[in-house]
Chain A
Amino acid sequence: MEVRIDFHQTWQNAFLQRLERDGPWSNWEIYQLALEAEQHTFVSDFDNLQSLKFLPELKPLPHQLEAVKQVIENMNGKAILADEVGLGKTIEAGLILKEYMIRGLVKKVLILVPASLISQWVLELNKKFYIPAVPYKKSWGWKDQDIIVSSLDTAKRSPHAEMILEQNYDFIIIDEAHKLKNAQTKNYQFVQRLKKKFCLLLTATPIQNKVEEIFHLVSLLKPGHLGSSSNFLKKYKGSHRKEIDDGLKDLIRKVMVRQSRRETNIQWTKRHVETVIINFTPKEREFYEMIIKFPKKEAIFDNAFSLLTLKREACSSKEAVFFTLKNMLKKQNPPSPALVDFTNQLIKKMEGITVNSKAEKALDLIRKIDDKVIIFTEYRATQLYLQWFFQKHGIRSVPFRGGFKRGKKDWMKELFQTSAQVFISTEAGGEGINLQFCNHMINFDLPWNPMKLEQRIGRIHRLGQQKDVFIYNFAVKNTVEEQILKLLYEKINLFERVIGELDEILTKLNVGTLHEHLTDIFATSESEGEMKIKMDNFTSVIELAQSLKGDELDAATGNSSIS
């Protein structure tokens, strides 16, 4: 086989010039050192990681090294890194990038991450990997820097998108790549148009529901690996992920590294989960009852979901309820008399409420903990209230939201680390920030989507956490919250196990995913009664699954009498 040989002439030309001018010549020692310097950076072998000797202070874990080797040796530098939350996907990505850079195969790099993670990525690449990455800045544009970290939101917008598409990237990393599951989105179409010589897609949740999601993700990376879109969709459209057959699994395994916490044999610090049941004051109770008792047939809400939302908000703060009502009124133009009436009644009741029992409890707890605490709430109104409330009691807190600009996020994190005791975050803030210097978390209200919860806990319970982690779940007695808590966190034991594990069980039993069940229970139930029945059903499935183990479980799959 004929291989192209490029003989570069740089040295030759310069040498002939020097001969003509009789110098300047270097001395023997420097000449020898120059050769040695070059040889030290030689790559002696096609295989084997070179990067480690460049990073003596980095101590990657065995599962991280395994992932890096897989991606480079078996996947040729194009892969979905789909380890579970907190296993160090960033470290893996950094090592892979470093390896290609050392081998001189990669120079120009684009790294797209959530806005809140930009600074963190830059810092890690600089400090841990000596990779001179910079955050995108207007002043240097896209051309002048070789390694830029930016957000997908910035990159896909004009005029950035056009300029980015003109660059010739050697390596692309996309963090939180589950945002690219839908081929119809602008995000997807933008990423599709990027030239991807080497590419890493990072996500902890490569498939949430539909099999198509993985098709789209893989097709970004390696179009055709799962066949053409029409053939694939013919076969799998609308399928749930439990229907992935072995053939497809094998194909996916060729482009995806997915390791679970369980497989890694790392000694994680412990998770202590404590449920904190709160009693409403009589006034709060009246307020809550009023929402519950509101007759359904009045149909002032779009669906059962709104009513459920209000109930859950009422467990969080009256401010959250107020905020939602105000929005509902605004949306209906003109608002129906029934809604106006209902709102007025609620507001009247609200005025009578002088304490927020949950907030009081949180205050007690924070004082007792006497250390840094993260509070998660789903509602912005609650967040604002809590900030005000804590301030009134002499406790410094910082707010955190997904919508903050990058600089502000960094600043808030910094403030929390250096001078505030409490960090109050809304859901959207949960995704992109690592706070392993803190080991106490209060879930002020509970999401029913366990992925969200895992994301929350993942902020503090991750590699690098030195201490045991304490999670406090707040729930108000005799409310929808207590029901959610009972199901998710007591019966399914969700806090102890990891979601992937639970899903594995469900998959083996062929009964849909956790997410599907929960959506069904909490979002589509028409009444409390229905919710309760569905929950009981689901719980018994889980209990059955728990009583069967290992091989028995596989055997049970054979006769699929459970549904």
Chain B
Amino acid sequence: MQQQEIRQFLKRFFDATQCKTVQDDGNAFTVQLTVDMDKALMNRPFYWHYIEKTRGTPNPQKITFLTDFSNSNESKGEKIHFGSPRLHQIFQLTKKLGGFIRMFEDRPGTVQNHTPLIPWLCMNIKVSYICDRKKDEFHSIGLNLINGKMLDNFHYLLKDTSMPLSMKMPDFAFTFTPLIKPVSGIKRIEQYIRSQLQQEDHTWAMEAKKRWERDEKLLNIFFEEWEEKPEQYEIEKEALREQYEPKISVDCINGGIFYLTKDRFR
């Protein structure tokens, strides 16, 4: 993540959380936190407890982020870069705040002609391939909860088609009740991911298993003279399993329901 991207990310984050930028000179910018953001980011529970108990006037803090520190060593703000704990704290917070969504395609109908909106379930999924190494892959699946149609890359489809989205149902519109219940929808998406994963090339896992077996063979040689294996043997064996055992871990990052007009993604 480049410094410019980080800057963009932070600016968008604070806009979206209603924290005003009070100063910005290109290298550094200062935001005035809201009460909620102060509580979430500044780690001062005692202060907030005190203010609430005494009904004092809350005075949320400002933060200055230094995003370009290549040629300035001024200590006017927090240096922020891809490794800085602050950025990762904000990442965490963003994920916490941005986990669940319900949106409507903003296409108001008319009195005579109400817009029907079809529910889609979207799940953005992280698949992690884990052994003694690891890599992650991203999947975004959309499922039409009326006809069961499934689309890959759903998140990007939503973004690409310049469709206005709104948190509120537009005027003169109505939503279809899902024929596929969300809970079954989730199961369908899981099943789909599972079958995809099973068809994949698992060379990485086989190689990990080879490494595992090789080390386990050595371990057996080391302990070959023991009639009864000591506790040490079991500990080492378990450690090897934890180190090498190939597995795939699947987590949903975020997702939700999108009510879209009928012709979308036909």
Cα(A375)–Cα(B191), bound, Å: 71
Interface assignment of A54: CB less than 8 Å from any CB of chain B: yes
Q: Are B250 and A38 in contact (CB under 8 A)?
A: no
Cα(A19)–Cα(B121), bound, Å: 12
Name the CB-closest residue of B to A130. Answer: B83
Q: Are B134 and A222 in contact (CB under 8 A)?
A: no
Q: Are A3 and B205 in contact (CB under 8 A)?
A: yes
Q: Which of these binds chain A: B40-48, B58-66, B108-116, B234-242?
A: B234-242
Q: Are A31 and B138 in contact (CB under 8 A)?
A: no
Q: Are B9 and A33 in contact (CB under 8 A)?
A: yes
Residues of B within 8 A of A8 (CB): 249-252
Interface assignment of A248: CB less than 8 Å from any CB of chain B: no
Name the CB-closest residue of A to B200. Answer: A3
Q: Are A34 and B197 in contact (CB under 8 A)?
A: no
Q: Are A57 and B221 in contact (CB under 8 A)?
A: no
Residues of A within 8 A of B83 (CB): 53-57, 130
A219 in complex: contacting residue of B15, B183, B222, B255, CB < 8 Å: B222
Residues of B within 8 A of A132 (CB): 85
Q: Are B94 and A33 in contact (CB under 8 A)?
A: yes
Interface assignment of B7: CB less than 8 Å from any CB of chain A: no
Q: Are B256 and A57 in contact (CB under 8 A)?
A: no
Question: With contacts A197-B242, A223-B223 known, is A46 near B126, CB below 8 A?
Answer: no
Interface assignment of B157: CB less than 8 Å from any CB of chain A: no
Interface assignment of A470: CB less than 8 Å from any CB of chain B: no
By size class, the interface of chain B is 35 or more
Interface assignment of A140: CB less than 8 Å from any CB of chain B: no
Q: Which of these binds chain B: A22-30, A356-364, A497-505?
A: A22-30
Residues of B within 8 A of A28 (CB): 101, 103, 165, 167
Residues of B within 8 A of A329 (CB): none
Interface assignment of B155: CB less than 8 Å from any CB of chain A: yes
Interface assignment of A154: CB less than 8 Å from any CB of chain B: no
Least distance between A253 CB and chain B CB atoms (Å): 16
Least distance between B152 CB and chain A CB atoms (Å): 15
Q: Are A46 and B254 in contact (CB under 8 A)?
A: no
Cα(A301)–Cα(B265), bound, Å: 97
Q: Are B219 and A7 in contact (CB under 8 A)?
A: no
Cα(A36)–Cα(B140), bound, Å: 13
Residues of A within 8 A of B220 (CB): 224
Question: With contacts A3-B205, A5-B197, A195-B238 known, is A18 near B100, CB below 8 A?
Answer: yes
Least distance between B100 CB and chain A CB atoms (Å): 5
Cα(A197)–Cα(B254), bound, Å: 32
Q: Are A27 and B167 in contact (CB under 8 A)?
A: yes
A77 in complex: contacting residue of B100, B132, B138, B255, CB < 8 Å: B132
Interface assignment of A103: CB less than 8 Å from any CB of chain B: yes
Interface assignment of A192: CB less than 8 Å from any CB of chain B: yes
Least distance between B64 CB and chain A CB atoms (Å): 19
Cα(A72)–Cα(B99), bound, Å: 34
Residues of A within 8 A of B245 (CB): 4
Q: Are B218 and A222 in contact (CB under 8 A)?
A: yes
Residues of B within 8 A of A11 (CB): 99, 123, 251-255
Cα(A76)–Cα(B165), bound, Å: 48
Interface assignment of B107: CB less than 8 Å from any CB of chain A: no
A43 in complex: contacting residue of B134, B247, B257, CB < 8 Å: B134
Residues of B within 8 A of A55 (CB): 83
Least distance between A60 CB and chain B CB atoms (Å): 13
In the complex, chain B residues 106-143 whose Cβ is within 8 Å of any chain A Cβ: 123-124, 126, 128-130, 132-138
- Contact pattern, A 180-207, Cβ under 8 Å of B = 1, otherwise 0: 0000000000001101111000000000
B252 in complex: contacting residue of A12, A54, A224, CB < 8 Å: A12
Q: Are B253 and A228 in contact (CB under 8 A)?
A: no
- Contact pattern, B 1-35, Cβ under 8 Å of A = 1, otherwise 0: 10000000100110111000000000000000000
Interface assignment of A264: CB less than 8 Å from any CB of chain B: no
Residues of A within 8 A of B255 (CB): 11, 15
Question: With contacts A54-B83, A104-B134, A224-B221 known, is A3 near B243, CB below 8 A?
Answer: no
Q: Are B218 and A35 in contact (CB under 8 A)?
A: no
Name the CB-closest residue of B to A231. Answer: B221
Q: Are A37 and B225 in contact (CB under 8 A)?
A: no
Q: Are A56 and B82 in contact (CB under 8 A)?
A: yes
Interface assignment of A351: CB less than 8 Å from any CB of chain B: no
Interface assignment of A562: CB less than 8 Å from any CB of chain B: no
Least distance between B244 CB and chain A CB atoms (Å): 8
- Contact pattern, A 285-296, Cβ under 8 Å of B = 1, otherwise 0: 000000000000
Q: Are B95 and A5 in contact (CB under 8 A)?
A: no
A7 in complex: contacting residue of B159, B167, B194, CB < 8 Å: B194
Residues of B within 8 A of A130 (CB): 83-85
Q: Are A228 and B100 in contact (CB under 8 A)?
A: no
Q: Are A193 and B235 in contact (CB under 8 A)?
A: yes
A5 in complex: contacting residue of B98, B186, B194, CB < 8 Å: B194
Cα(A45)–Cα(B15), bound, Å: 33
Q: Are B94 and A30 in contact (CB under 8 A)?
A: yes
Q: Are B136 and A105 in contact (CB under 8 A)?
A: no
Name the CB-closest residue of A to B205. Answer: A3
Q: Are A6 and B250 in contact (CB under 8 A)?
A: yes
Q: Are A33 and B250 in contact (CB under 8 A)?
A: no
List the 3 closest A-B pairs by CB distance, nearest first. Answer: A34-B98, A224-B218, A224-B222
Name 6 extra pairs, CB < 8 A, besides A5-B248, A24-B100: A5-B247, A18-B100, A33-B12, A104-B134, A193-B235, A198-B132
Interface residues of B (CB under 8 A from A): 1, 9, 12-13, 15-17, 81-85, 88, 90-91, 94-95, 97-103, 123-124, 126, 128-130, 132-138, 155, 159, 165, 167, 182-183, 186, 190, 193-194, 197-198, 202, 204-206, 209, 211, 215, 217-225, 232, 235-236, 238-239, 242-257
13 contacts between A and B (CB under 8 A): A3-B247, A5-B198, A11-B255, A15-B100, A19-B257, A23-B102, A28-B101, A34-B253, A43-B136, A46-B129, A46-B204, A103-B134, A105-B132
